[in-house]
Chains A and B, each alone.
Chain A
Amino acid sequence: MTAMTRLAQWVAMAAALIAAPASADFSLLNMTQGVTESSRDIYGLHMTIFTITVVIGVGVFGAMFYSIFRHRKSRGVEPSKFHHSTTMEIVWTVIPLVILVAMAVPATQVLIDLDDTTNSEMTVEVTGYQWFWGYKYKGEDVQFLSRLDTDSDRARRLDSGIQPASVDNYLQNVDQRLVLPVDTRVRFQITGADVIHSWWMPDLGWKKDAIPGYVNEMWTEIEEPGVYRGRCAELCGRDHGFMPVVVEALPKAEFDEWLANRQAGGTGMTADSDETPETDGELAAR
């Protein structure tokens, strides 16, 4: 065995060791970019401020570790006596201020944009209950409750004996999804029925508290059809961890079809629903 191959083996082993804890998925290390312009703006802010802190960190910790290695008594150094420098102190007060202003500008722009809930094409009312969500399509005569799906609900009992990994989308699946059209500016009106909840959909970049007696507003415009999963983010009692949010974004035509079906008394199940009955017969049997 040559030295090179031995080295390569060591490197591979070290890499495997480092990777082991997260062997499942390295995309789980960072914020999701999401599927709306606002969520990507937020991701951009997040990465910018993160990069700034890393650069500052490298500088500060670099100086600190240099000092720890070079200025130690065991190297026989004589301690210096200086104890202040007005110039330096002004410099490291002003530079952070400048960085902060530079950071505040884009953050303000995004915030102003997020705050503007006008010009929406449809409105959905979201209500938090202990412990499920209620959705109402304003002016469309469609409303329903959305609860944790039965498979997760069975598996999550204390000592249920069911492996969470064996359940499809454990704790992030519901019986009835919130179905929304893509490329449509949707306004949400969020409130709570009993205690404070928080409706969080990471792929939309939003989290908003659902407060009894308050109506909070937010808006979104989803760009890609798909199923997006979120959760309640505000402690709301015993089953706080068990009230997921699932949004299914459909192309506009399919959404209209779904809405018409729903208005006509249909199930509201979409072709992609996890619990879609296969045939009319099965549907009747239910």
Chain B
Amino acid sequence: MTATTYDHAAHEGEPTGFKRWLVTTNHKDIGSMYLLFSLAMFLLGGAMALVIRAELFQPGLQIVDPYFFNQMTTMHALVMIFGAVMPAFTGLANWMIPLMVGAPDMALPRMNNWSFWLLPFGFAVLLSTLFMPGGGPAGGWTMYPPLMLQTGTAFPFVIFAIHVLGISSIMGSINVIATILNMRAPGMSLMKMPLFVWTWLITAYLMIAVMPVLAGAVTMLLTDQYFGTTFFSAAGGGDPVLYQHIFWFFGHPEVYILILPAFGIISTIIPTFARKPLFGYSSMVYATASIAFLSFIVWAHHMFTVGMPLAGELFFMYSTMLIAVPTGVKVFNWVSTMWRGAMTFEAPMLFALAFVFLFTIGGFSGLMLAIAPADFQYHDTYFVVAHFHYVLVTGAVFAILAAAYYWMPKWTGHMYSERLAQWHFWMSVIFVNVLFFPQHFLGLAGMPRRIPDYSVQFADWNMVSSIGGFGFGFAQLIFVWLLIKCIRGGQQAEAKAWEGASGLEWDVPSPAPHHTFDTPPVVR
């Protein structure tokens, strides 16, 4: 197999310096930009979280005004979801999907460039609202009217930014689908694709289905504010709850957009380090598709307390409980993959194992939240905050970190420092639990979410949680240091950097040359 045809002559006349990055159509360059952008946003969103945790360190207001606090909770969520986790997955898709399916590049390289460069502009607009009169959006990332309509000058800018980010995501998804369906190497049937490719294919369809729904919802907010419509105002015959239905019809598939590619990553890493094939490949594919389907019919479980009819409450309770079945299948399959393997515990595997353990805890609290009457107590408390941070931080973010460690040798050509990685892992996994586990207690004991100050019985666990927050935050700086070191040098990585790894990406040299698979490989 001719894996690469790296040819210096072909690059003469290509732009260098900044222009290289501005006009690039290379999937590896664009993937790197996505990943670095995502890291920057992760640190920025993390800094916002630390403002929140610093204010909540003890009862009373010490640091920020309540309104600024609300801006921080809102922006933290928007930055982490649209700036950190989604672009990280798109970056991984850009880098790895062509390598995994044996394609020379993404199917639509110019659109690929555009979908990346929309992101910095979208975020420049979004973040600039913090400095506008009246401050940034402060109604929560869910942007429920009528509260959202009380936003100041920032209001149209937020909506414009969301449109831009949505367009970027949709174009990224179109590219992923076009690449996977059209550019697979000869012999790679759909059921031979690596699971990361499968989960991304399904995720991309989810995105195309729901990002326009979000766009519709925020556009209706815009016309309600400026053009005299009353979609969400009962006074004009509209309905504030309608917004919540539309938003969560986007919002629930969105949370699976944030986790399905993570499932693919974990399903790639565990077999590598257990030196044993993935257990139940086809049931993994079917489980992913089932989860994607169910994600469209469970949205109102975010709204058990809005006063739905009994039939509605029952339907959404049952459908939500059903999600536990395919998700359970996935967890059982991962554990079975480990069973009687020969495991080693390098950083990618450690993060993957922590994912299985901690994501499952987040799944358990999700199952508890599905029970509608119990949700009357849990809803809008720190129990919910704990739940979604277990699935999104120790779930999505841990999977992204696992992927970064796993493929870093392929990206940089160097092995990362395993010693620093171990420090990063152990600091992260300890502090993230100090940070989020006590939040279950706080929620059950009665602390609502999105409050800047609280009554004194919640003081102890808030202090513990804040200590965990700062520990987790600073632990991520180890990763930044490790990444810089790894890019600049280190032990040369082999083409196949991990003993148990399999897949086309390990057939090309490390670092992967600028152009790969000019001649498609043959998959048997």
A residues at B contact (CB < 8 Å):
21-25, 28-32, 38, 41-42, 45-46, 49-50, 53, 56-57, 60-61, 63-64, 67-68, 71-74, 77-85, 88-89, 92-93, 96-97, 100, 103-104, 107-108, 110-112, 114-115, 155-160, 162-165, 169-172, 194-196, 198, 200, 202, 205-209, 211-214, 216-217, 230-242
Task: Report the minimal beta-carbon distance from A265 to chain B, rounded to whole angstroms.
Answer: 33
Interface contact A236-B376, CB-CB below 8 Å: no
Asked, given contacts A64-B356, A67-B338, A236-B147, whether A115 binds B318 with beta carbons under 8 Å apart, the answer is no
Which A residue sits closest to B243, measured CB to CB?
A: A196
- Asked if residues B240 and A196 are in contact (CB atoms below 8 Å), the reply is yes
Given A60-B360, A63-B339, A164-B59, A103:B321 Cβ within 8 A: yes
Task: Tell me whether A79 and B274 are in contact (CB under 8 A).
Answer: yes
Given A63-B335, A89-B280, A207-B305, decide whether A71 and B322 contact each other with a Cβ distance below 8 A: no
In the complex, B120 has a CB within 8 A of chain A: no
Q: In the complex, A172 Cα to B447 Cα: how many Å?
A: 11
Known: A71-B340, A111-B310, A211-B306. 16 other contacts (CB 8 A): A30-B445, A32-B445, A49-B371, A60-B331, A73-B275, A96-B324, A112-B310, A115-B310, A158-B65, A205-B373, A207-B305, A216-B306, A233-B379, A237-B70, A241-B66, A242-B453
Asked if residues B444 and A67 are in contact (CB atoms below 8 Å), the reply is no
| Of the residues A56, A71, A156, A202, contact of B342 by C-beta under 8 Å | A71
Which residues from chain A contact B345 at a C-beta distance below 8 Å? Answer: 72
- B67, closest chain A residue (CB): A238
Where the two chains meet, the residues of B that have a C-beta atom closer than 8 Å to any C-beta of A are 58-62, 64-67, 70, 138-140, 144, 146-147, 150, 233-235, 239-241, 274-283, 305-307, 310, 313-314, 317-318, 321-322, 324-325, 328-329, 331-332, 335-336, 338-345, 353, 356-357, 360-361, 364-365, 367-368, 371-374, 376-377, 379-381, 438, 441, 444-446, 448-461, 463-464
Mind listing 9 A-B residue pairs with CB under 8 Å? Answer: A64-B356, A68-B353, A85-B280, A156-B61, A157-B61, A159-B62, A164-B60, A208-B376, A214-B234
A103 and B379 in contact (CB under 8 A), knowing A81-B277, A83-B279?
Answer: no
A160 to B344 Cα, complex, angstroms: 55
Instruction: Provide the bound-state CA to CA distance between A235 and B144, in Å.
Output: 9
Count of A-B contacts judged by CB separation below 8 Å: 296
Considering only CB atoms, which chain B residue lies closest to A241 in the complex? B451
CA distance A211 to B233 in the complex (A): 10
Which residues of A are found within 8 Å of B444, using beta-carbon distances?
29-31
**Cα–Cα, bound, A232→B305 (Å):** 13
A61, B357: Cβ atoms closer than 8 Å: yes
Partner of B343, one of A67, A110, A206: A67
Contact check: which of B234, B336, B356, B451 meets A240 at CB < 8 Å?
Answer: B451
* Contact (Cβ within 8 A) B241 A211: yes
Q: Are B373 and A230 in contact (CB under 8 A)?
A: no
Q: Which of A60, A85, A157 has the most CB of B within 10 A?
A: A60
Q: Is the CB of A100 within 8 A of B344?
A: no
Q: How far is the CB of A183 from chain B (nearest CB, A)?
A: 22
Partner of A74, one of B66, B70, B344: B344
Q: Point out the residues of chain A lying under 8 angstroms from B62, CB to CB.
A: 158-159
Interchain CB contact (< 8 A) of A207 among B276, B321, B376, B460? B376
When distances are taken between beta carbons in the complex, the residues of chain A under 8 Å from B276 are 79-81, 83
Query: Counting chain B CB atoms within 10 Å of each CB, which of A28, A104, A230, A232 scores highest?
Result: A28
Q: For the complex, what is the distance from the CA of A112 to the CA of B311, rounded to whole Å? A: 10
Residues of B within 8 A of A112 (CB): 310
Complex interface: chain B residues within 8 A of A108 (CB)? 314, 317
Given contacts A111-B372, A234-B380, contact A80 B341 (CB under 8 A): yes
Q: Which listed residue (A24, A214, A238) contacts B459, Cβ 8 A?
A: A24
B335-A49 in contact (CB<8A): no
Question: How far, in whole Å, are A264 and B339 apart by their CA atoms in the complex?
Answer: 76
A-B complex: 10 closest residue pairs judged by Cβ atoms: A213-B234, A241-B451, A216-B307, A53-B364, A164-B59, A80-B340, A83-B277, A79-B342, A233-B380, A73-B342
Set of chain B residues within 8 Å of A42, measured between Cβ atoms = 373-374, 376-377
Bound complex: CA of A233 vs CA of B449, how far in Å? 7
- Which residues of the other chain, A, contact B455 by a CB distance below 8 angstroms? 164, 169-172
**Cβ contact within 8 Å between A84 and B454:** no
Interfacial chain B residues near A156, Cβ < 8 Å: 60-61, 453
Q: Which residue of A lies closest to B277 (CB)?
A: A83
CA distance A164 to B454 in the complex (A): 9
Question: Which A-chain residue is minimally distant from B343 (CB atoms)?
Answer: A72
**B341 x A79 contact (CB < 8 A):** yes
The contact of B461 among A21, A84, A207, A239, by CB within 8 Å, is A21
| B277, B318, B342, B360: most-surrounded residue (chain A CB, <10 A) | B342
A89 pairs with B329, CB closer than 8 A: yes
Q: Are B339 and A230 in contact (CB under 8 A)?
A: no
Chain A residues with CB below 8 A from B374, complex form: 42, 45-46, 49, 107
Which residues of A have CB within 8 Å of B306?
Answer: 209, 211, 216
Instruction: Chain A residues near B275: list those with CB within 8 A.
Output: 73, 79
Residues of B within 8 A of A163 (CB): 60
Residues of B within 8 A of A162 (CB): 60
Quick one: which of A89, A159, A233 contacts B381, CB cutoff 8 A?
A233
- Quote the shortest CB–CB distance from B498 to chain A (angstroms): 12
Cβ 8 A contact of A195, one of B70, B150, B328, B331: B150
A163 to B357, CA, bound (A): 40
A22 touches B461 (CB 8 A): yes
Contact B448 A232 (CB under 8 A): yes
Contacts of B322 in A (CB 8 A): 100
Taking CB as reference atom, which chain A residue is nearest B463? A21
Q: CA–CA, A213 to B306, complex, Å?
A: 12
- Residues of A with C-beta under 8 A to B234: 212-214
CB-CB under 8 A from A236, the residues of chain B are 147
A170 to B451, CA, bound (A): 14
Q: Which of chain B's residues have a CB closer than 8 A to the CB of A164?
A: 58-60, 453, 455-456
Q: What residue in chain B is nearest A63 (Cβ atoms)?
A: B335
Q: Does A114 contact B376, Cβ atoms closer than 8 Å?
A: yes
Cβ contacts under 8 Å, A71 to chain B:
274, 338-343
Chain B positions within 8 Å of A78 at CB level: 342
Q: In the complex the two chains form, what is the Cα distance from A242 to B381 in whole Å?
A: 15
Of all chain A residues, the one with the shortest Cβ separation from B150 is: A237
> What's the minimum C-beta distance from B247 to chain A, rounded to whole angstroms?
13
Q: Nearest chain B CB to A186's CB is how many angstroms away?
A: 17
Chain B residues with CB below 8 A from A234, complex form: 380
Find the A residue at minimum CB distance from B275: A79
Evaluate contact between A213 and B240: CB separation under 8 angstroms.
yes
Complex Cα spacing A111 to B276, Å: 46
Q: How far is the CA of A64 from the CA of B463 in the complex (A)?
A: 32
Residue in A74, A84, A107 whose beta carbon sits within 8 Å of that of B281 in the complex: A84
Contact A21 B448, beta carbon cutoff 8 Å: no
Q: Is the CB of A84 within 8 A of B279?
A: yes
Contact present for A233 and B448 (CB under 8 Å): yes
Contact of B373 among A30, A107, A169 (CB under 8 A): A107
Given that A68-B343, A213-B233 are known contacts, is A238 also in contact with B70, CB under 8 Å in the complex?
Answer: yes
Chain A residue, CB-CB nearest to B371: A107
Query: B223 CB to closest chain A CB, in angstroms?
Result: 18
A108 to B279, CA, bound (A): 36
